[in-house]
Structure 1
Amino acid sequence: MKNIIFSIMTSGCLLFSGCMSTTNMGTAGADRKQFMVIPEKAWTAQSERSYTRFVNRAKDQQVLVIDAKLNQVMEQLRTEADAFRRGSEQWKWDIKGNLNGELNAHSLPGGKIIVNTGLYWGLKLNQDELAFVVAHEMAHSLRDHNREKASMLLASNLAILTATAGAGAIASAAASVTSQAALIPKGWNLEVEADVIGLDIMSRAGYNPKAAVDFWAKFQNESNRRKAFDIKPLMNDALYAKRIANIEKYLPEMRARYEQVLATKAHSSQYAARNMAQ
């Protein structure tokens, strides 16, 4: 009975939800429609609590890293957030380092980002490479990728429940979810999408987008080196090649945007210098 009640309640959410894009049209990655069931407000509130728990636990375990370099990069990238999602520049963006040797970083909705020191200290990332990592995680937050994945999982579980519950209205909702899930392209990958959006964010903020290729080269070299110590790599060579090829496809456009930003900044600096001299 509990399962049936849960199914009916969840199907109500499905019937009133649909395909959407969390980011502004005309920006990288916005053309793909997303399926969202879980309300944004509730999901963000839960994520805020999770992030607070992480910070408190990390402080207790003395693994929390507050790094001015992380904050500097985040602050510069944050100014471009509204171009991708209205109002997001005003989110309570925050970034922390985590004293952890794994080559990984994490993002939560609402602009909370955690970067393992194994990733940016261990790989000796320069400013542009670090900017790509942070912009990539910002992309996950701006596109609400975690909420999207949870929505699809919830919809899948509902479809399984309807197979045993046999409720007509619920079955219709599940069928709708199935048809909407078919809109996702074959081979679609949220990480690849975050690479592209991250490239756009960092280019607009004045960071060299070529650093994305350099970062993944460092990442894969270190990952392969760790194989000798029986540490399973996070990304196989086939996926690495796919991601590099996809990044390189967008590099000319992003390089042009980056150079335009540099030219604008140079012009502004010259204008300010002339005014000071007068």
Structure 2
Amino acid sequence: MLTPVVMVLTLAFAGCSSTTESGAVGASRSQLLLVSSAELNAMAEQAYAKLKADASAKGALNTDAAMLARVRAVAARIQPQTAVFRGDAPGWKWEVNIIESEQLNAFCMPGGKIMFNTGLVRKLNLSDEEIAVVMGHEIAHALREHSREQVSQATAAQTAIGIGTQLLGLGGGASQITGAAYEALVASRFSRAHETEADRIGLELMARAGYNPQAGVSLWQKMGSATGSGGGRPDFLSTHPSDSNRVQQIQALLPTVTPLYQAARR
């Protein structure tokens, strides 16, 4: 009879793969993927539709036509570049909207459902290049299926708990993963490793789209100034690398991605 640990390890090894090619920045590793893309994409579509409906009911959806046009234009330039990392991504049902909110936030749900808060663009006075930094980063989360990976990790942990409690005669079963799904789809609280990976992929995406990757430095300097003296970092930044570390990591990548930007501008 397999022990609970062996059973979970067997399940984990069976579910390990990589969702993307490595690109110029070398973003490649094995990922634990126990939940299907189709299942999570369907959940994302429902969550995104509800988010839009709620915002629309409050008169907070797409209230700034000029900003919406800017954000959508940046997304349109970056989306074709996603083919470098995964061939199916340009064909996703991409959608880009903005919500009237002072919170410094943006996200891209599985399958390409993008949302920007107006406060992020206004408060930081973002240039198109800086919008591209954020856009590339958020799209990278979707390309690498970090949400799916996060839910899979929760599923594996809950499976282990369920097996253990059943073998010990404690009753019950694995907990529901709705909480993990919410965190992954809406709350945007990814691990620090996921954030660093998204920075690397995002910087390459924007460079290939013809946006100067040097904007990654100015964006995170602005973010540091905005959050360093105003009562702490927003929730969605709570698991991100520190802004100073982020700037250093981006500067280290510039020799790799700047030639891609220069080639795109020719």
Tell me the TM-score normalised to structure 2 length: 0.80
Instruction: Write out per-residue CA displacement over residues 92-111 of structure 1, whole angstroms, 9 at most, x where no aligned residue.
Output: 11111111111111220000
Name the residue aligned to 1:241.
Answer: 244
How far apart in 2 are the matches of 1:48 and 1:29? 30
How far apart in 2 are the matches of 1:106 and 1:116? 9
Instruction: Write out per-residue CA displacement over residues 77-98 of structure 1, whole angstroms, 9 at most, x where no aligned residue.
Output: 1111111111210111111111
Q: Is 1:197 the counterpart of 2:198 in the alignment?
A: no
Counterpart residue identity of residue 227, structure 2: S
Q: Is 1:260 the counterpart of 2:257 in the alignment?
A: no
Q: CA deviation at 1:240?
A: 1.9
After the TM superposition, which residues 136-215 of structure 1 pair with which residues of structure 2 at under 5 Å, given as runs?
Answer: 136-166=137-167, 189-215=193-219
Counterpart residue identity of residue 33, structure 1: S
Counterpart residue identity of residue 41, structure 2: T
Larger radius of gyration: 1
Q: Is 1:103 the counterpart of 2:100 in the alignment?
A: no
Name the residue aligned to 1:87.
Answer: 88
Counterpart residue identity of residue 240, structure 1: D
How many matched pairs? 233
Tell me the TM-score normalised to structure 1 length: 0.77
Q: CA deviation at 1:243?
A: 1.6
How far apart in 1 are the matches of 2:12 and 2:206? 38
Q: Aligned with 2:229: secondary structure?
A: helix
Q: Aligned with 2:152: secondary structure?
A: helix
Q: Aligned with 2:123: secondary structure?
A: coil
How far apart in 1 are the matches of 2:194 and 2:138? 11
Extract unaligned runs of 5+ from structure 2.
Answer: 169-190
Extract unaligned runs of 5+ from structure 1.
Answer: 1-6, 168-186, 264-278
Identity %: 34
Please provide the CA RMSD for this pair.
2.5
Q: Is 1:44 the counterpart of 2:77 in the alignment?
A: no
Task: Assess, with a 3 A threshold, how the Cα gap between structure 1 residues 114 and 238 changes in structure 2: closer, same or farther.
Answer: closer
Counterpart residue identity of residue 246, structure 2: R
Q: CA deviation at 1:25?
A: 3.9
Counterpart residue identity of residue 249, structure 1: A
Counterpart residue identity of residue 195, structure 1: D
How far apart in 2 are the matches of 1:242 and 1:108? 26
Instruction: Write out per-residue CA displacement over residues 23-73 of structure 1, whole angstroms, 9 at most, x where no aligned residue.
Output: 124453542111100011111111111111111111111111251111110
Name the residue aligned to 1:181.
Answer: none
